[in-house]
Structure 1
């Protein structure tokens, strides 16, 4: 019997998540909860049930799994809020891995991440929780990816790259081996990263240069009362 699963979020990223869930054929998607979509409509054939205020009732109906189905355009806060809501309701957050993705057997992952179509993740890579590794991205051996990071489509992260939590790596960016990119940082699309990039920074270009403070930076640990 398939496991019952609920999605929070029904936009474009949500459609990708639905497609990947179906490709694995492990879960039965009961419905979508979304603050902006009208109940009774459908996304990729999955019904919109209402808002996340329904979560508690759904849990009592036997749904045990929840998925963050909103994307991240450089601001991880919506995904973090959904993560916390799902955890508070006692739901399990599985990693959604598209059937076409290729992961080494010794990749380590936190919970609640999405691995899209054609992704390749090499030996010894470590991913935090709540990440998006989007279509066609390549993460090579020994890479370390922090919590709630978004690696956009077509990115290439070479061996032993480290990316701090809540950082966004824009589409088509290449990061050479042994580079460290800090927390809460935005790397613009199509960049070539040849040197370390600081936390709370906006950087882009070929080669990528730090051009300013990233204003949407967000300290998740501090928001939870931790030092």
Structure 2
């Protein structure tokens, strides 16, 4: 018997995940949120997160776009997670996608790619062959990773960014919108421009 499905986080990102699930006829029981602003979203009840302990079983996706917050919430939920892949995404059967990750409409994940836990592969993003994406990464809409790219945990790749083949991007990195990355990027760097240049470093948390 299939386990009941829940989301945690009633944000705009949550609404997109609802569409991902609907594309595969997956029904949600409820959405949990720390500070609910509405009673329901498209007929799905939004429940205060303090009630989460009333659930005996079920599977979750943390529907929060911010990587750090998503990690914090995922680590405190004591139940299992599921993966959501839009019906229009193109995902190689020879790739691997771990729990809690969402793949949005029109995204492409090619042969040999490995995507970690609680990642977001957003609308129209491209993850080419043999890429390795660690946990809690967000690949924004229309971003493109060429083959054999590695992305460290907690990194955010901005909308429309491009990363050439074989590049290693560290953990906690921010790649700006439209950036073209042609060199390896160290942990926590903030990179913008074409070609990409480091302008500062993110704070360690």
Q: Name 1:9's counterpart in structure 2.
A: 9
Runs of 4+ in structure 1 deviating by more than 3 angstroms, as ranges, are none
1:111-126 alignment, distance < 5 Å = 111-126=99-114
- Give the gaps of 5 or more residues in structure 1: 219-227
TM-score (norm: length of structure 1): 0.86
- 1:189 paired with 2:180, answer no
1:157-168 alignment, distance < 5 Å = 157-168=145-156
Residues 31, 180 of structure 1: alpha-carbon distance in 2 compared, 3 angstrom cutoff: same
Equivalent-residue separation in structure 1 for 2:164 and 2:43 (angstroms)? 41
- Which whole-Å deviations, capped at 9, do the CAs of 1:65-124 have from their partners, x for residues lacking one? 11111112xxx22101221122x2xx2201111111110001112211010010000100
TM-score (norm: length of structure 2): 0.95
Q: Name 1:70's counterpart in structure 2.
A: 64
Equivalent-residue separation in structure 2 for 1:97 and 1:163 (angstroms)? 20
Q: Name 1:35's counterpart in structure 2.
A: 34
Equivalent-residue separation in structure 2 for 1:20 and 1:2 (angstroms)? 18
Q: Name 1:140's counterpart in structure 2.
A: 128
Q: Name 1:57's counterpart in structure 2.
A: 54
1:82-161 alignment, distance < 5 Å = 82-86=73-77, 88=78, 91-161=79-149
Number of residue pairs aligned between Structure 1 and Structure 2: 205
Q: CA deviation at 1:35?
A: 1.1
Equivalent-residue separation in structure 2 for 1:212 and 1:179 (angstroms)? 19
- Alignment root-mean-square deviation, CA: 1.4
**Are the counterparts in 1 of residues 36 and 47 from structure 2 also a CA contact under 8 Å?**
no
**Are the counterparts in 1 of residues 182 and 195 from structure 2 also a CA contact under 8 Å?**
yes
Q: Name 2:193's counterpart in structure 1.
A: 205
